Structure 1
Amino acid sequence: MRIGIDARMYGPKQGGLGRYIEQLISHLEQIDDRNEYVIFLRRENRDAYSPTKPNFKKLIADVPWYGWREQLELPKIIRQTKVDLTHFPHWNVPLFYNDPFVVTIHDLLLLHYPTRESSALGPLSYWFKNLAFRKVLRHAVRKAEHIIAPSEFTKQDIHNALGVPLNQITTTYLAPWEPVSFRGTTQKSDESIGGGTEEFPRINADTTSQGNPSSYLLEMTQVNRPYALYVGVAYPHKNLNRLLDAWQLFQQKYGTNYHLVLVGKRNYFYNKLLSNETMKQCNNVTYTDYLPDSELTKIYSKASLYVFPSLYEGFGLPPLEAMQYNIPVISSNRACLPKILRDAALYFNPEKNEEIVEALYRGFTDNSLREKLICNAKKLLPSYSWEKTAQRTLDVYENSV
């Protein structure tokens, strides 16, 4: 069988979706010598992927996502390769593509949070975008040979919201990216949790765009001061405004010997967050912009706590990635998160500042709880592996044609 994979969003610069595509292809290469694969990439990420098996080929499909070219040009490019099945790893399946395909629906965020806050567009443009999203999504789930979901929560969500029969949806759990250079080297000690009083560097709206995050990173990793870490985007459902409000209360109640570090690619939403009055008033918050994996591991390895205040997730990969570094995790109790993280996280109501504050305090100071969460995380992590994800995805491919 000849299989095409739309990998235009390949790589960590595209966040969790890019990581998913990257890891899926890497592990399909490891387990499948039988089928042929055509990996469609854009020019900007073509060098990020190099096939390691002769049955994997890459092809340039330099078509931006979410636009008219995606609707008209991408189907032509795919058809020219004469694939038997195409895997679209996101909901943006071209309306004019009606050959056999499977699609991964990671979440229904835009259905559940269709607010203007979630977009940088004007009112008319946003209305049109939302209308187009709904049309494309319904086409994708209606025409797909099969649908892949990253969690049972998302599977049920697709069934309830879009009327897709459950037997048309397969759950393929995701897994954290495993940083080779830090495997087994990140056990926290009491000394790393305790405080120094050194001042963290602050990266604000005026300096980030011109500064080099790596230089700030070097300073940060040399400071023995406990910090809570968040890695990800700043979309409204990630609830970072609430986290900042809670952080200010936390400092007022428990002192300023703690720090909060936010890591994520600078864009409209981070710019908006950086201009937040609370952000301006908090002296113990650092924003680093995007960091490559080699530098991100250093931030993880020094963190005392990972905080995840999201209101909605289809899977919730960042907390699992943090657990690999033996970092205790405190998490929102919403959506799929309690089912994915199980007893390896301390949960809080993400809409109550007081609960976030107390979770932060316990996460920093309760050594018995910290040890329990780290121990439970070590038992949890083997449940998720990219080998399992790739094998279940391959089963979907082979059962769809």
Structure 2
Amino acid sequence: MDVYFSHHIFDRQTYGGISRYCTELHRGLRRAGMQSRIAAGLHINAYLDEVDEVWGARVSKRAGTNTARLQFNRCTDSLLRALLPETAIYHVTFHDRVVLPKRARLAFTVHDLIRERVAGPEAFAQPLSTRKRSLAELADVVFTVSHCTKRDLVELFDIPADKIFVTHLGTSFSRFTDVRPDDALAPYVLYVGARQGAADYKNFAQMVRALSSSRVGQEANLVCFGGGEFTSEQVDLLDRCGLRERTHLMKGDDRCLARLFAGARCLVYPSLYEGFGLPPLEAMTMGCPVVCSERSSIPEVVGSAAVFFDPEDVESMSSAIEQVYFDNQLRTTLSRRGRERSRQFQWSTTVKKTLDGYHYALQRKTAR
């Protein structure tokens, strides 16, 4: 069996959960003896520097070059799809286009249906949603990263449950056990990820209000990792809440984030909806206590190794953050439980379950 990952997500992400998933899956398939290749074309992704059998080259993300780069990748991808044999798996990495191989089996991973859940019926008419649904319907096998997302696919897109395989994500942060905590801003609570635009479901503003109303907000720094620059609205909110001077934006690679996890009093993860929730898993791997929303797939990931809150209730969130921040014994317990919990999420398991799905796809199409 030969597996080919498409270029699509590597056009979009330098760092990010989906491209990390694809890279780790490719790495694991090769370790398992599979012929796996990433047909990345001219890409901007940093993770591909870590693996072999990448067809393409990393280029700088310069203004004005994006259109030409994407056109080149689409042309080479079209040629690849035409040449792949029936025994190959073509694994689409993102739903920015509906692309079908001529003979190979089509695999597709749906990471979440957040837009459809949060925005409601109007989201179903948006191009990204219609393409996601089309690929899920046409695919010989569909993967999801949580049981929560599988239920959403069945309920919202009417995808047959028997062709959906749940493959939980693994954690890549176990390789950072030697890092020293980043305590330059200590004491601090940590927020990781997007904060604006289509990411309103991440609930950043509600977390700011919760911190402001708690005793934690009177003494702790707030460190935000990734997610781009603060918008003017976010700066105004931080100012009104008295947190602007103690809020710090950090950027960097996975090792930088691992150091922040290692030094934080806790990770606060206030999201209203997730398809998986990778930052809590990464935090648990580093022994960072997790305070998080009780919604969607997040409890599926953290189990009993976190303190939960209602993400729409400022008082509930504020109380949970205070509970963990000020209780040394609780933080020690959460750190131990988190490390134990994180060991249940291994990329080797992801690979094994993915191979089960690939074999299903080969048998399914052969039977048509």
TM-score category of the 2 structures, normalised to the smaller one = 0.7 to 0.9
Partners in 1 of 2:216 and 2:133 — Cα distance?
49
Matched with 1:58 is 55
* Residue in structure 2 matched with residue 101 of structure 1 by the alignment: 106
Q: Aligned residue for 2:35? A: 36
Q: Hey, what's the Cα distance between the residues in 2 that align with 1:347 and 1:114?
A: 24
Unaligned runs of 5+ in 1: 116-126, 187-219
Q: Is the 8 A contact 1:263 1:289 kept in 2?
A: yes
1:95, 1:52 → 2: CA distance?
A: 25
Q: Deviations over 1:345-368 (max 9, x none)?
A: 000000111111111111111223
Q: Distance in 2 between matches of 1:167 and 1:367?
A: 46
One-letter identity of the residue aligned with 1:257 = E
Distance 1:283 1:76 in 2: 49
Aligned to 1:189: none
Aligned positions, number = 347
CA deviations 1:299-320 (Å, max 9, x no partner) are 2221111110000001111011
CA displacement at 1:257 relative to structure 2: 1.8
Residues 130 and 247 from structure 1, CA distance in 2 versus in 1: closer, same or farther, beyond 3 angstroms? farther
Match of 1:26 in 2: 27
Residue 391 of structure 1, CA deviation: 1.6
Residues 169 and 347, structure 2, Cα contact 8 Å, conserved in 1: yes
Which residues of 2 match residues 1-400 of structure 1 at below 5 A? Answer: 1-10=1-10, 13-31=14-32, 33=33, 35-45=34-44, 48-49=47-48, 56-59=53-56, 73=75, 75-83=77-85, 84-95=88-99, 99=103, 100-114=105-119, 131-183=126-178, 221-223=183-185, 225-234=186-195, 235-250=199-214, 253=215, 256-266=218-228, 270-271=230-231, 274-279=234-239, 281-283=242-244, 285-400=246-361
Opposite residue 173 of structure 1, the aligned amino acid is H
Alpha-carbon deviation of 1:286? 2.3
The list of structure 1 runs, each at least 4 consecutive aligned residues, that deviate by more than 4 angstroms after superposition, is 50-53, 60-65, 67-72, 95-99, 127-130, 183-186
SS of equivalent residue, structure 1 residue 306: strand
Taking structure 1 as reference, are residues 136 and 339 closer, same or farther at Cα in structure 2, changes over 3 Å only?
same
Q: What 5-or-longer segments of structure 2 have no aligned partner? A: 60-64, 363-368
Q: By how many angstroms is 1:69 displaced? A: 5.2
Q: Distance in 1 between matches of 2:7 and 2:111?
A: 15
- TM-score normalised over the length of structure 2: 0.83
Q: TM-score, normalised by structure 1?
A: 0.77
Q: CA deviation at 1:264?
A: 0.8
Is the CA contact 1:247–1:357 (under 8 Å) kept in the aligned structure 2?
A: yes
Identity %: 23
Residues 114-155 of structure 1: per-residue CA shift (max 9 Å, x gap): 38xxxxxxxxxxx89953223212211111001000011111
CA RMSD after TM alignment? 3.2
